[in-house]
Structure 1
Amino acid sequence: MNPMYGVQPGDKLKTMTLPAVTRLDLIKYAGASGDYNPIHTIDEEAEKAGLPGVIAHGMWTMGSLAKLFTPFYEDGFIQDYSIRFQGMVFVGDVLTLHADVISHEESMITFDVYARNQQEKDVIRGNVVFRKHLETSAT
C-alpha cells in the first residue's frame, strides 16, 4: 500500500531538518534561477538594502519545503502550491520543514505546510494540494 493512502486530517508527514543554509547554497540557487540580486550573495549589498546580511531567495525556501513530498512522487504529485513568506532566512539558519494533513478526499490530500527556523519562528507557510495518481487511488 502506498504511504499516502492512509493519511487522515490531523496526521503529519515526517518532518525534515535541512543542513544550515550556506552562502554557496544561495550562489548555486542564483545561478540555477537567474536571480542574481546581490542581497542574496553579497553582505555589503544586503547591508546597503537595510538587511543584517544576505538573505535566502524566497523561492529557494519554497522549493526546499517541497522536498517533504519527494518520497511520495510514486503516489502522485503536487497539483497546487501556495505560500506566504513569514520571515527572512539567513546564512546559518537551520530550517525544519512540516506538512500537516488538512483534508483527504478520494484523489486529493490538502496539507498545511511550513518551515521554521532554529528559533521556532515560521519563515514560510502555505498549502499543498497533493493529487494521487488515478490508477493507484484507493476507493
Structure 2
Amino acid sequence: MNGRVRAGDPLPPLRVPAISRTTLALYAGASGDYNPVHVDADAAREVGFEDVFAHGMLSMAYLGRLLTGWAPQRRVRSYGVRFTAMTPPHAEPVCTGTVSAVQDGAAHLDIAVTLADGTVTLRGTAVIALADE
C-alpha cells in the first residue's frame, strides 16, 4: 500500500500457480480437511461430481495472501467471502481487489478469485486499517 489510497484503486493481482492434485493433497494435510471429494476422483464421482475440486478455504487463503501482500496482517480488520463456484484441478486462480471506499481511516475492499474462463469462485469484502493504531 503506497501513498494515498482512494476508492477505485486496484490491488496488485495475485496470480496463483495451477492447482494440482498435489496441491490439493498438501492442503488437505495442512488444513486437516480430508473430505475425499477434494483428493479422490472416485469418491467425487460417487457423489455426482466429474472430478475432485479445490477446497474453498484454499482459495480463501490465497485471497488472504492478496490482502497481506498489500497491507500488514495486523491491519486486517475484517475479511469475509461467499463461495460462488468450484475450482477444478489445473485451474490458475487470480485474486483481485478494489478499494470500494475509504472511511474512518480504513480501506473497504471488494475482493474476488477468478479463473481464466471468467468463472468467479469467491467474492468477498475486507476492511484494512490504513495506519497502525
Q: Determine the structure 2 residue equivalent to 1:63.
A: 61
Q: Determine the structure 2 residue equivalent to 1:50.
A: 48
Q: Which runs of 5+ in 2 are unaligned?
A: none
- CA distance, structure 2, for counterparts of residue 32 and residue 76 of structure 1: 23
Residues paired across the two proteins, number = 133
How big is the shift at 1:106? 4.0
CA contact (8 A) 1:107 1:134 kept: no
Identity of aligned residues (%): 30
CA contact (8 A) 1:111 1:128 kept: yes
**Which of residues 95, 113, 131 in structure 2 aligns to 1:115?**
113
- CA distance, structure 1, for counterparts of residue 30 and residue 59 of structure 2: 14
- CA distance, structure 1, for counterparts of residue 73 and residue 45 of structure 2: 45
CA contact (8 A) 1:75 1:133 kept: no
How big is the shift at 1:79? 1.4
CA contact (8 A) 1:76 1:133 kept: no
Q: 5 Å matches for 1:1-139?
A: 3=2, 5-74=3-72, 76-134=74-132
Which sits farther off after the overlay, 69-78 or 96-105?
69-78
CA contact (8 A) 1:110 1:127 kept: yes
- CA distance, structure 2, for counterparts of residue 109 and residue 70 of structure 1: 13
How big is the shift at 1:105? 2.4
CA RMSD of aligned residues (A): 1.6
